[in-house]
Amino acid sequence: MTSRVYRLHSTLELPLEDVYDHFEEPDLPPEIEDVDITRRNNTLILSAVATDGSISKYTPTAQLKASVTENRVYEEEPEPPHAGGGGGQWGALTEEEEEEIESELVEYACFKGDRETVLQNTTLQFPMFEVLCNVAEIAEKGTLTAIVAIDEELQAVRIEDGERTPASINVTEDPAEDRGEDTVDWRDNEFIR
CA 128 to chain centre: 14
Whole-number Å distance between alpha carbons of 60 and 46:
12
Question: Which residues have C-beta within 8 Å of that of residue 58, sequence separation ≥ 6?
Answer: none
Q: What are the distances in angstroms from CA 20 to CA 11, 46, 68?
A: 19, 10, 13
127 backbone dihedrals φ, ψ, rounded to 5°: -60, -35
Round the average pLDDT of the chain to a whole number and report it: 83
Q: State the burial class of residue 138 (Cβ atoms within 10 Å of its Cβ: 0-12, 13-18, 19+).
A: middle
Q: Which residue has the higher pLDDT, 74 or 41?
A: 41
How much is the pLDDT for 145? 95
How much is the pLDDT for 158? 96
Model pLDDT for residues 5-38, shown as the tens digit of each residue: 999 999 999 999 999 999 999 999 999 999 999 9
Model pLDDT for residues 107-163, shown as the tens digit of each residue: 999 999 998 899 999 999 999 999 999 999 999 899 999 999 998 899 999 999 999
3 backbone dihedrals φ, ψ, rounded to 5°: -135, 145
- The residues that bridge with 13 in the sheet, in sequence order, are 110, 141
